[in-house]
Structure 1
C-alpha cells in the first residue's frame, strides 16, 4: 500500500513530525479505515526516503496514541478509533496548525486585527474554491 505522504525537505519541521502529522490526519479523517494494513517500516522509509528509525518512531508514537496496533509477524494496522477520539485528534491538529500560524504572524509583527483579516480572507478563499485538505 502506498500512503499519500509528502515530505518537504526544506521545512524546518523534523521528518518524523511531517510523517506523523500526515499519517495521523489520514487515520483521523477516515481516509485510512480501521484494520487497514500499513506498509512495513522498511517500505514506508524507502517510499518517503528516510531512515527506518524515523518510521519506527512514527509508528510507535501513533500506537501509543491508540491510532495504530502492531501484531508481531503480521504488521501494523489502523486501530479502531471512536468518534470522540477522532474529534479530539482532529481539533488538536487544527489548533496546533493555527498556533503555528499565529506564531508566524507575531514574528512578522502582524497586529491582532491583521491576523483576523488574513484568517478570514484565507477562510473565504479556501472554502470558495474548494481548497485542498
Structure 2
C-alpha cells in the first residue's frame, strides 16, 4: 500500500517527526480508515527512504497513542478512532502548526498584528480558492 508521505530533507524537523505528523493526520482525518493494513516497517522505510528504526519508532509512538494496533504475524493496522479522540488529535495538530508559524514569525521579528494579518490573508485566499 502506498501512503502519501512527503519528506523534506531540508527541514530541521527530524524524519521520524515528519513521518509521524503526516501519518497521524492521515488517520485522524479518516483518509486511512479503521482496519487499514499499513505497509510493513521495512516497506515504509523503503518508500520514504529512511531507516527501519525511524519507522519502528513512528509505529510505536502512534500505537501508544491508540491510533495503530499491531498483530503479531499479521501486521500493523489503523485502530478505531473515536470522535473525541479525533477532535483531540485534530486540534493538537493545528495548535502545533500555529506554534511553529508563530515561532517563525518571531524569528523574523513579525509583530502580533502582522501575524494576524497574514493568517487572515491565508484564510481569505483559502475561502476564495
TM superposition shift of 1:127: 2.6
Aligned to 2:80: 80
TM superposition shift of 1:68: 0.0
Aligned to 1:33: 33
Q: Do structure 1's residue 96 and structure 2's residue 106 form an aligned pair?
A: no
Task: Quote the Cα distance in structure 2 between the aligned partners of 1:63 and 1:76.
Answer: 9
Aligned length, in residue pairs: 129
TM-score (norm 1): 0.96
Alignment of 1:1-133 (within 5 A): 1-129=1-129
Structure 2 unmatched ranges of 5 or more? none
Mean Cα deviation higher: 105-114 or 52-61? 105-114
Task: Quote the Cα distance in structure 2 between the aligned partners of 1:14 and 1:123.
Answer: 28
TM superposition shift of 1:126: 2.0
For the aligned residues, what is the CA RMSD?
A: 0.5
Q: Give the secondary structure class of the aligned counterpart of 1:7.
A: coil
TM superposition shift of 1:128: 1.6
* Runs of 4+, deviation exceeding 2 Å: none
TM-score (norm 2): 0.99
